[in-house]
Amino acid sequence: PLVNTREMFKKAYEGKYAIGAFNVNNMEIIQGIVDAAAEEKSGLILQVSAGARKYANPIYLRKLVEAAIEDKDIDIALHLDHGESFEICKQCIDDGFTSVMFDGSALSFEENIRITKQVVEYAHARNVTVEAELGKLAGVEDDVNVKAEDATYTDPAQAVEFVERTGVDSLAIAIGTSHGAYKFKGEPQLDFERLEKISSLLPGYPLVLHGASSVMQEYVQMCNEYGGSIPGAKGVPEEMLARAAKLGVCKINVDTDLRLAMTAAVRKFLIENPSVFDPRKYLGPARDAIKEVVQHKIKDVFGSSDSI
Ligand code: G3H
Ligand code: 13P
Ligand code: ZN
Ligand code: NA
């Protein structure tokens, strides 16, 4: 069934694993992810960004997720990713989302608290859970482009105050991850000391990692080998994600890895089969690649297999 994230996160926290939150934009992406989660008997978060809503038309995504629920016997939370205003959060709640993120990370502390509280109040009255963000990630999102020097790591004391004053259900923190395929210039590094500090100040509380793709090199190489050009792409090593999952991180966001896998599969197929023009012939392998990536994450990295 469609569920909010409350029970999922409680179990994830206690079991020291994380639930994968995967961005969806079309049918093949949803099918690949849901297939993997069903085979692994894992809880799942499907998340929709404002860009995804604009691309697909919100109703198509919602109906595809409803189809997935009917097709497979798993728990899925339908989540708004990076909601920029109270209004978009409200819209998604009214549309049947079970979870929303209000991203006030670009606002002042007080303004972030004010709107987060407003979203929490509206959401909780409708059994919807809310994620907020404190601190700024570097990197590229749809409309926001935060330069590395403008990124600020989450302050542990502020995180506690933020959670207490807003009643928000989960908190995305900045400890060195970033959105997109170019996360580190040199060696990958996350501020685990900060994560441990925040986690110890908020016992039992679910934290969220955005920008957590590992930028799997096999797919980067496949893209580059078959006509692509994404040199120097680098992500968060899997060991770091597994470690974070044991330190209170209950939700790990992945979009870039799905994009890379899908694109690699399509590139490879089209180069190897220049005379084929049936979209099912290249979207099929793309869907298989998505499934493989998600299954690997769930089973080998996040540890959420057999959680339902
Ligand atoms: O955090 C951003 C996600 O990767 C979604 O990306 O806004 O281009 O859909 P998008
Ligand atoms: P990646 O770009 O690392 O996949 O992060 C996705 C994300 O945080 C979506 O909110
Ligand atoms: Zn994000
Ligand atoms: Na966890």
pLDDT in tens, 272-302: 999 999 999 999 999 999 999 999 999 999 9
Compute CA distances 17 → 232, 252, 299, whole Å: 30, 10, 10
Residue with tokens 């934009």: 25
Regarding the beta carbon of 136 and ligand 1, being less than 6 Å apart is answered no
Nearest CA to ligand 1 atom 2: 141
**pLDDT at residue 145 greater than cutoff 90:** no
Please give the distance, rounded to the nearest whole angstrom, from the Cα atom of residue 271 to the centre of ligand 3. 32
**113 token code pair:** 């608290």
Q: Which atom of ligand 2 is nearest to the CA of 101?
A: 10
**Region 158-164 average pLDDT:** 98
Please give the distance, rounded to the nearest whole angstrom, from the Cα atom of residue 122 to the centre of ligand 4. 27
Nearest CA to ligand 1 atom 1: 141
Per-residue confidence (pLDDT) for residue 111, from 0 to 100: 98
**264 token code pair:** 């690699």
Please give the distance, rounded to the nearest whole angstrom, from the Cα atom of residue 162 to the centre of ligand 1. 25
Regarding the beta carbon of 52 and ligand 1, being less than 6 Å apart is answered yes
Rounded to an integer, what distance in angstroms lies between the CA atom of residue 25 and that of residue 118? 28
Regarding the beta carbon of 208 and ligand 1, being less than 6 Å apart is answered no
For domain 6-302, the CATH class is: alpha beta
Regarding the beta carbon of 23 and ligand 1, being less than 6 Å apart is answered yes
Q: For residue 262, name the pLDDT band (cuts at 50, 70, 90).
A: very high
| Residue 151, amino acid | A
Per-residue confidence (pLDDT) for residue 150, from 0 to 100: 63
Tell me the HSE value of 132 on the side-chain side, using a 13 A CA sphere: 33
**Region 164-169 average pLDDT:** 98
Per-residue confidence (pLDDT) for residue 269, from 0 to 100: 98
DSSP 155: P
Per-residue confidence (pLDDT) for residue 264, from 0 to 100: 98
pLDDT in tens, 169-193: 999 999 999 999 999 989 999 999 9
pLDDT in tens, 23-38: 999 999 999 999 999 9
Whether 249 contacts 195, CB under 8 Å? yes
- Count CB atoms within 10 A of the CB of residue 204: 10
Q: Which atom of ligand 2 is nearest to the CA of 235?
A: 3
Maximum CA pair distance of the chain? 60
Regarding the beta carbon of 179 and ligand 1, being less than 6 Å apart is answered yes
**pLDDT at residue 142 greater than cutoff 50:** no
Rounded to an integer, what distance in angstroms lies between the CA atom of residue 63 and that of residue 6? 23
Per-residue confidence (pLDDT) for residue 98, from 0 to 100: 98
The dihedrals phi and psi of 218, each to the nearest 5 degrees, come to -60, -35
Strand partners, 83: 102
Strands 249-254, 19-23: pairing kind: parallel
**Which range among 83-92, 104-113, 139-148, 232-241 shows the weakest confidence by mean pLDDT?**
139-148
Q: Which atom of ligand 2 is nearest to the CA of 137?
A: 8
Rounded to an integer, what distance in angstroms lies between the CA atom of residue 174 and that of residue 155? 9
Closest residue by Cα to residue 30 from 262, 268, 300, 218: 262
> Could you tell which of 82, 179, 294 is best to mutate to test the pocket of ligand 2, judged by most ligand atoms within 8 Å of the CB?
179
pLDDT in tens, 51-107: 999 999 999 999 999 999 999 999 999 999 999 999 999 999 999 999 999 999 999
Please give the distance, rounded to the nearest whole angstrom, from the Cα atom of residue 221 to the centre of ligand 4. 31
pLDDT in tens, 8-17: 999 999 999 9
Nearest CA to ligand 1 atom 10: 142
Per-residue confidence (pLDDT) for residue 138, from 0 to 100: 74
Nearest CA to ligand 1 atom 8: 142
Rounded to an integer, what distance in angstroms lies between the CA atom of residue 239 and that of residue 231? 23
**pLDDT at residue 143 greater than cutoff 90:** no
Please give the distance, rounded to the nearest whole angstrom, from the Cα atom of residue 140 to the centre of ligand 2. 9
ipTM of the assembly? 0.97
Nearest CA to ligand 1 atom 5: 49
